[in-house]
């Protein structure tokens, strides 16, 4: 590993961070630019498997597009291996929380991602992504005594109502 490799790794990390941010901010057009045209995604141990950027995007937008679907997908522990001048492999740890008020649920989980990246026209893209769950759980929100949602990205610019009169 040398200094030039670190620059490549930082570019790949930035790609992944942009992907995660666009997902939680529902920036679908920006999100599409993270993938190769023929990218493959295999989320949740293969339960959600899609071939091609369009199919992946359609799935993400359909399943996570509602403004009542508030998500925090966070990736950690990047282990990026440069496997060639234009290819790389990445392992990441995921923690995610979904608050879906329309379905009255909270979903929490953890997983490990295995990704492949390729350099196309001097831009790093995701060619394959997928994760295997360590655990996942779901909980009805309405049965939690006193639980209150006090902020949402889509209401009042994400401003908290905590303790407001």
Stretch that binds a second copy, among 28-36, 38-46, 51-59, 82-90 (CB under 8 A): 38-46
What is the CB neighbour count within 10 angstroms for residue 5?
Answer: 13
CB-based contacts of 106, cutoff 8 Å, min separation 6? 97, 98, 99, 100, 138, 139, 141
What is the CB neighbour count within 10 angstroms for residue 160?
Answer: 10
Q: In a 3-state reduction of DSSP, which class is residue 15?
A: helix
Q: Does 137 bind a second copy (CB under 8 A)?
A: yes
Contact residue for a second copy among 3, 85, 102, 121 (CB under 8 A): 3
Q: Does 29 bind a second copy (CB under 8 A)?
A: no
Question: Can you name the residues that pair with 84 across neighbouring β-strands?
Answer: 87
Q: Give, in degrees to the nearest 5, the angle at Cα 133 between 148 and 90.
A: 110
Q: Whose structure tokens read 């990218």?
A: 39
Q: Does 119 bind a second copy (CB under 8 A)?
A: no
Stretch that binds a second copy, among 11-19, 28-36, 50-58, 121-129 (CB under 8 A): 11-19
Q: Does 30 bind a second copy (CB under 8 A)?
A: no
Shortest distance, position 87 Cβ to a second copy, whole Å: 19
Q: Does 102 bind a second copy (CB under 8 A)?
A: no
Q: By C-alpha distance, which of 51, 42, 61, 36 is closest to 120?
A: 36
Q: Does 45 bind a second copy (CB under 8 A)?
A: yes
Q: Does 62 bind a second copy (CB under 8 A)?
A: no
Q: Does 33 bind a second copy (CB under 8 A)?
A: no
Cα 142 to Cα 104: distance, rounded to the nearest angstrom = 6
Interacting residues with a second copy (CB under 8 A):
1-7, 9-11, 14, 16-18, 20-21, 24-25, 44-47, 70-72, 74-79, 91, 93, 95, 97, 99, 107-112, 131-140, 143-153, 156-160, 162
């Amino acid at each position: 590993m040398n200094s030039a490799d670190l620059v490549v790794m930082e570019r790949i990390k930035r790609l992944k961070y942009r992907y995660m941010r666009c997902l939680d901010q529902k920036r679908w057009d920006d999100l599409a630019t993270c993938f190769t045209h023929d990218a493959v995604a295999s989320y949740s141990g293969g339960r959600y498997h899609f071939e091609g950027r369009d199919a992946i995007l359609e799935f993400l937008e359909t399943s996570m597009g509602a403004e009542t679907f508030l998500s925090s997908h966070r990736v950690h522990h990047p282990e990026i291996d440069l496997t060639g001048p234009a290819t790389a492999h990445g392992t990441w740890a995921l923690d995610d929380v979904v608050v879906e008020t329309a379905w009255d649920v909270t979903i929490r989980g953890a997983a490990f991602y295995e990704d492949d990246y390729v350099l196309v026209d001097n831009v790093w893209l995701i060619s394959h992504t997928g994760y295997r769950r360590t655990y996942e759980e779901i909980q009805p929100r309405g049965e939690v005594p006193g639980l209150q949602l006090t902020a949402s990205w889509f209401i009042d610019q994400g401003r908290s109502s905590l303790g407001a009169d």
